[in-house]
């Protein structure tokens, strides 16, 4: 087979989706130097998720080049909590953001100091609060009642509790895949109530660390992110007047998105960085003791991961070819279109051991679950596949396994490897 045509066709798909390429060798996808066939043999069974550590490393490097030097970078574990991935990221970023006691445990297993960890999320249990105080992580307060519970736990354990206030800002992040601010929200303290919450922090003698202003997720528009960041700084200057002490850390959220679907244009990170540099220039003068933190999940890991399953049946139904695989919605809810998407679109899917193939065809890729929702690709062009071939879903490094209903239909869970 001609190498050039193979590559060209893969590139065509990559261009349509605007994603960056994994290398191809003998028409087989290569993950950090290992062909997919060999990786599948090494792992011993399908389905599995594979994450490429070099891609994660490179991503953090590239990102740091675009951002102001004095911005701290945190990893939001929620995006991919696999312990090996978190360990790897702990060596690359400046802090870890957690949202449960389970994530706290994974974070504390890394060499990262707990001083650089923060715990956000509504509905923290009393036991999670006690654990967080004992661990010495910063608790991002989500409500006035939570503040009272933190104060009580700190008093009872006689340990100083580090707290920040998570603010529900009075603006939203426009064109965001998931809006998490503006209007009534379960997250954070409404901006107009924050001064009262800040007063309570000093009344209770809690150790004030700063503010957390997260306004949304999965955003591909640099202008929208720049606008939200500008409003975030303005809001911070206003709230700083009521703060019980210097704002040591200002977590301005993140929301940097990655392309998933045809036509998605990757985020212009250079523009985000330039705008942030302008905002930071002002801030260094107005709040000289404040460290700015950006927290990111999918932007760091999303493009480094693939989900791989095997074709177990190939059938023709009324003119349409179905590849039935051993993987599906129960392992990768997002790729099936059921993780908050309004309109289902195909993730980039290909046959990993026949990227170009000898023939191409339009197929639907489904899983083994008895529900029409179990769809990984809907009438998509790919290489003609047979039973035993490997189906690959790209852009699967974030919100994959841990965001999927693995118990549904009682099939075995997939494996995960960091290559």
Residues within window 380-399 making contact with ligand PLP, judged by CB under 6 A: 398
Residue 214 is a binding residue for ligand PLP (CB under 6 A): yes
Cis status, amide bond into 47, omega within 30 of 0: yes
User: Hey, how many other C-beta atoms are within 10 angstroms of the C-beta on 15?
Assistant: 11
Interface size with ligand PLP, residues (CB under 6 A): 15
Q: How far apart are CA 21 and CA 255, in angstroms?
A: 23
Residue 49 is a binding residue for ligand PLP (CB under 6 A): no
Which residue's CB is nearer to ligand PLP, number 169 or number 254? 254
List CB contacts of 75: < 8 A, sequence separation 6 or more: 86, 89, 90, 93, 95, 96, 97, 295, 296, 297, 300
Which residue's CB is nearer to ligand PLP, number 214 or number 233? 214
User: Hey, how many other C-beta atoms are within 10 angstroms of the C-beta on 105?
Assistant: 14
Which residue's CB is nearer to ligand PLP, number 233 or number 299? 299
Q: Which of 51, 37, 53, 113 is nearest to 402 (CA)?
A: 51
Six token digits for residue 256: 């940097």
Which residue's CB is nearer to ligand PLP, number 258 or number 383? 258
Residues within window 284-323 making contact with ligand PLP, judged by CB under 6 A: 295-299
The one segment of 47-55, 190-198, 210-218, 320-328 that binds ligand PLP by CB under 6 A: 210-218
Which residue's CB is nearer to ligand PLP, number 6 or number 140? 140
- Out of 13, 78, 310, 354, the only residue in the binding site for ligand PLP (CB under 6 A) is 78
Q: How far apart are CA 94 and CA 117, in angstroms?
A: 9
Instruction: For the CB of residue 152, give the shortest distance to ligand PLP in the complex, in Å.
Output: 24
Q: How far apart are CA 329 and CA 341, in angstroms?
A: 14
Residue 218 is a binding residue for ligand PLP (CB under 6 A): yes
- Out of 24, 76, 293, 350, the only residue in the binding site for ligand PLP (CB under 6 A) is 76
Instruction: For the CB of residue 217, give the shortest distance to ligand PLP in the complex, in Å.
Output: 4
- Out of 118, 209, 217, 395, the only residue in the binding site for ligand PLP (CB under 6 A) is 217
Find tokens 């790919």 and name the residue.
382
Q: Which of 396, 402, 390 is nearest to 326 (CA)?
A: 390
Which residue's CB is nearer to ligand PLP, number 254 or number 348? 254
Q: Which residue is nearest to ligand PLP (CB)?
A: 297
Q: Which of 55, 56, 65, 49 is nearest to 21 (CA)?
A: 55
Which residue's CB is nearer to ligand PLP, number 364 or number 402? 402
Which residue's CB is nearer to ligand PLP, number 47 or number 253? 253
Q: Which of 66, 104, 62 is nearest to 86 (CA)?
A: 104
Q: How far apart are CA 145 and CA 160, in angstroms?
A: 18
The one segment of 19-27, 76-84, 155-163, 201-209 that binds ligand PLP by CB under 6 A: 76-84
The one segment of 59-67, 75-83, 351-359, 409-417 that binds ligand PLP by CB under 6 A: 75-83
Which residue's CB is nearer to ligand PLP, number 79 or number 151? 79
Q: How far apart are CA 73 and CA 338, in angstroms?
A: 30
User: Hey, how many other C-beta atoms are within 10 angstroms of the C-beta on 143?
Assistant: 21
Q: What is the 3-state secondary structure (H, E, C) of 61-90?
A: HHHHHHCCCCEEEEEEHHHCCCHHHHHHHH
Interface mask toward ligand PLP for 111-150; x: CB under 6 A: ---------x------------------------------
Which residue's CB is nearer to ligand PLP, number 6 or number 138? 138
Helices 144-157, 194-203: axis angle to 10 degrees equals 10
Six token digits for residue 113: 């100091």
Find tokens 């978190």 and name the residue.
86
- Out of 254, 397, 400, 414, the only residue in the binding site for ligand PLP (CB under 6 A) is 254
Binding site for ligand PLP (CB under 6 A): 76, 78-79, 97, 120, 214, 217-218, 254, 295-299, 398
């Amino acid at each position: 087979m001609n190498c050039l045509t193979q590559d060209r066709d893969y590139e065509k798909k990559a261009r349509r989706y605007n994603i960056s390429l994994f290398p191809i060798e003998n028409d087989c996808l290569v993950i950090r130097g290992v062909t997919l066939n060999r990786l599948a043999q090494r792992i011993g069974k399908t389905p599995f998720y594979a994450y490429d550590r070099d891609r994660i490393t490179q991503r953090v490097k590239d990102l740091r080049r675009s951002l102001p030097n004095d911005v701290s970078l945190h990893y939001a574990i929620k995006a991919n909590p696999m312990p090996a991935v978190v360990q790897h990221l702990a060596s690359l970023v400046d802090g870890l953001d957690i949202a449960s006691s389970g994530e706290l445990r994974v974070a504390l297993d890394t060499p990262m100091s707990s001083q650089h960890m923060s715990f956000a999320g509504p509905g923290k249990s009393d036991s999670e609060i006690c654990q967080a105080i004992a661990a010495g992580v910063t608790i991002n307060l989500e409500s006035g009642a939570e503040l009272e519970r933190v104060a009580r736990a700190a008093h009872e354990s006689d340990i100083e509790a580090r707290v920040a206030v998570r603010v529900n800002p009075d603006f939203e992040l426009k064109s965001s895949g998931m809006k998490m601010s503006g209007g009534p929200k379960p997250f954070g303290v409404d901006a107009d109530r924050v001064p009262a919450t800040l007063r309570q922090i000093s009344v209770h003698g809690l150790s004030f660390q700063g503010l957390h202003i997260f306004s949304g997720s999965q955003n591909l528009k640099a202008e929208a992110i720049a606008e939200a960041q500008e409003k975030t700084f303005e809001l911070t200057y206003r709230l700083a007047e009521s703060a019980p002490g210097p704002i040591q850390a200002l977590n301005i959220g993140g929301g940097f998105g990655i392309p998933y679907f045809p036509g998605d244009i990757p985020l212009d990170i250079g523009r985000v960085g330039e705008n942030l540099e302008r905002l930071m220039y002002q801030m260094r003068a107005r709040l000289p003791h404040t460290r700015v933190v950006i927290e990111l999940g999918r932007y760091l890991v999303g493009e480094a991961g693939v989900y791989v399953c095997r074709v177990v049946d190939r059938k023709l139904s009324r003119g349409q070819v179905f590849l039935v695989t051993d993987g599906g919605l129960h392992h990768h809810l997002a790729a099936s279109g059921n993780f908050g998407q309004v309109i289902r679109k195909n993730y980039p899917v290909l046959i990993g051991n026949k990227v170009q193939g000898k023939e191409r065809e339009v197929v639907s890729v489904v899983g083994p679950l008895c529900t029409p929702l179990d769809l990984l690709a809907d009438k998509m062009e790919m290489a003609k596949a047979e039973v035993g071939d490997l189906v690959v879903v790209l852009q699967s490094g974030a919100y994959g396994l841990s965001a999927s209903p693995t118990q549904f239909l009682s099939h075995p869970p997939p494996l995960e490897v960091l290559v």
